[in-house]
Structure 1
Amino acid sequence: MGPLAVGVDIGGTKVAAGVVDARGRVLRRTRRDTPHRSKSPRHVEDTIVAVVEDLVAHGDDVVAVGIGAAGFVAADRSTVVFAPHLSWRQEPLRESLGRRLALPVFVDNDANAAAWAEHRFGAGRGESHLVMVNLGTGIGGGIVLDGRVVRGRFGIAGEFGHMRVVPDGLRCECGNRGCWEQYASGNALVREARALMSANSPVATDLFARVGGRPEDLTGPLVTEAAREGDALARELLGEIGRWLGVGIADLAAALDPGTFVIGGGVSAAGDLLLGPARQAFAGQLTGRGYRPSAKIVQAELGNEAGLVGAADLARVGAAGMAWADAGDTAMPSGGAAVPADGT
């Protein structure tokens, strides 16, 4: 089973954690709501400490704790520069938690952690050059090239949702116009469906029925459910999201040239209703199409646990690297799987 690590996935609504082995299996889980008392750094920190202590109290041989944070994590992998759904601003999270937990702590962006998990244990197993695109409320992602997580000079690589795909397009929450996530995200899917419902379009009859005539109650999973059950409008809307997805990943292919794109996040639950149009648009937009190999586009396999599994594995690898460095060695064990000698 190899050394164990705790992974903690911190979002705006929940703190999920688990004990993870060297094969990516979650042996024990716990979950708590993200504190709503202003979501202050101290309150969230208390919750993280509580879930970790709850897990290690069972006596498992845990060697490290990995934190996957929904926000910008500095290149030092210690400081959360900015978290949109929490009050973290230049928060020294690794130092703060390190003072309270008797274990090495490693911090990373949650999308980086999810990409690493899919690379090691999920849909990207065996792929050295992988890009993960997470379609949720917005769009996030992670990059693994040559088997290493690419974080960028300042630690903020992978914010794909804010690539501008439409000059002077729809206004984005980030302040710019035309960002990719305004066209290929869960928010975009629900926005378009609600617009037709609010206009009393006859093509939205089925969606109206599903929410009792209240457009404000419509959610992305409901649109996906309707599409799976044959609703023409829901299928059309998912197809549009998929086409925009394909356009964006063609741009990413031009820049990064991965072998595989792994599509995760809540919207990916639509499967081929989303990925079919994405693959078609990608094939039509890819630079050098017809004269170059084309990346695979696959659905993520690890679901909601990808973040905590990846955070735990990055921490386990990092702790092993620390131990071997202390011993004066130049290589590092990996629980039976090849990983970079610097722990990514």
Structure 2
Amino acid sequence: MTMLNYDPHRLIDDRFRREGPGTPVVSRNERTILSMLWDRRELTRSALGAQLDLTQQSVHRIISQLEERGLIRLGPLEPPSYKGKPSPRLLLNGGFGCTIGIAVNTDSAGICVMDFAGTFRTASLSIDKMPVEAALSAIEAAIPPLLEAMHARWDDVFAIGFAIAGFLVEGTRYNPPEPLVEWSTLQLGPYLADYFQRPIWTENGANMSTLCERMLGVGREVSNFAYLSFNYGFGGGIVLNGNLVRGGFGNAGEFSGVFHEGEWENRPTLAALLRMVARHGVQVSTIADLSRRFDPDWSGVSEWLDLVAPHHTRIINMLAAVIDPEVVVLGGQIPTWLAEQLIARTTFYSKPRHGISRRMPRLEPSQIKGETSAIGAASLPLKESFF
């Protein structure tokens, strides 16, 4: 399999398709209904029909087809809010299939198994300084216990989402930070599809964390938000009208690009924080270790905040001016306390005009903890194919 003919949609097993070989997995109307069920979770059949430009007969037919294929199931009857018959609650059927999300960071890997209803389990492991093949072998060995915990088998795996730190070069090849330089030579889509024998969707890690927030966090409440991903480096993602923005070259959200070379060391990266606390004698060796053991009283933390806060403020104001998000989420591997401190130090540049101020985004730490990039990676094939 080569980059030129690689398309994960073509590798989807026929049993997940709507009408057999070569057909889509869902129709446009089916996707609309499934998306509404994912975001709102507790819709009844009658409430769904009232929100769609479809006849009642069409809604009933589509729901029956989705139920017959096993994508949804009918829940308990809900009493109507007006005169009429009770209507069944519509629920996504987790047993339809599952996905795997893999996120390769500079020194660790996150793994997630997610079912069709969005229930998931995660695990993490160290891959610090491992060659590609050794890292993949360790990742593969960690998947079966997660499948077992989800009462799933390999045969239930619809597809795999794969995240890696770094920017997109072409196709499914990424340019990651120095600790992952060996990965930079690979077209990850076809390479991993051959390795795992499953369709592979790829994205950079920051976009996958953004998608995690879209599918399971703030994105269920608002349609327009930005996500700041604090990791070894610093990047993020943008969601507009409910969709992840990738840009003309696939690298929307590379927020580090607003800093010139002389400012590079002052970006709000956790690698810079790691170096700073290490100079003060704090014994932490990896970003994962820093996030897990973080202590606000460590020497060097206040120094890092003083250094990076003005640059963080610049990013926030740039986002407010350019994409006008409702919310900016601070996520990635940043500890919540640090995110809250950066928020407290943020200043908006906009000034009132004629006594009226322009609305500014709400700033908040991500409420999703753990392997957000892997969770987003697991949700990507679902989003691309069903929702």
Counterpart of 2:101, as a letter, is G
Picking from 294, 318, 336, the partner of 1:251 is 318
The worse-fitting range, judged by mean Cα deviation, of 120-129 and 140-149 is: 120-129
Distance of 1:71 and 1:163 partners within structure 2: 16
Larger Rg: 2
Taking a change above 3 Å as real, the CA distance of residues 187 and 11 of structure 1, as seen in their structure-2 partners, is closer
Q: Give ranges in structure 2 of 5+ residues lacking alignment.
A: 1-92
Distance of 1:59 and 1:189 partners within structure 2: 40
Shift of 1:54: 5.6
Distance of 1:189 and 1:295 partners within structure 2: 26
The worse-fitting range, judged by mean Cα deviation, of 79-88 and 246-255 is: 79-88
Shift of 1:194: 7.4
Distance of 1:313 and 1:186 partners within structure 2: 26
CA offsets, 1:76-103, max 9 Å, x none?
4x33344532112241111111113232
Q: Is the 8 A contact 2:328 2:364 kept in 1?
A: yes
Distance of 2:364 and 2:381 partners within structure 1: 26
Picking from 138, 153, 164, the partner of 2:233 is 138
Aligned: 1:33 with 2:101: no
Taking a change above 3 Å as real, the CA distance of residues 98 and 110 of structure 1, as seen in their structure-2 partners, is same
Shift of 1:224: 4.8
1:71-220 to structure 2, matched below 5 A, reads: 71-74=166-169, 76=171, 78-86=172-180, 87-164=182-259, 176-179=261-264, 182-189=266-273, 214=281
* Corresponding position of 2:350: 286
Instruction: Indicate the percent of aligned positions where both proteins have the same amino acid.
Output: 25
Q: Is the 8 A contact 1:268 1:274 kept in 2?
A: no
Shift of 1:250: 0.3
SS of residue in 1 equivalent to 2:358: coil
Q: Give ranges in structure 1 of 5+ residues lacking alignment.
A: 168-175, 198-213, 322-332, 335-344
Counterpart of 1:255, as a letter, is V
Aligned: 1:7 with 2:101: yes
Taking a change above 3 Å as real, the CA distance of residues 17 and 291 of structure 1, as seen in their structure-2 partners, is same
CA offsets, 1:17-42, max 9 Å, x none?
12113454323x343321635x2x43
Counterpart of 2:124, as a letter, is R
Q: Is the 8 A contact 1:75 1:153 kept in 2?
A: no
Picking from 308, 332, 356, the partner of 1:265 is 332
Taking a change above 3 Å as real, the CA distance of residues 90 and 190 of structure 1, as seen in their structure-2 partners, is closer
The TM-score with structure 1 as length reference comes to: 0.70
The TM-score with structure 2 as length reference comes to: 0.63
1:226-237 to structure 2, matched below 5 A, reads: 226=297
State the superposition RMSD in angstroms: 3.2
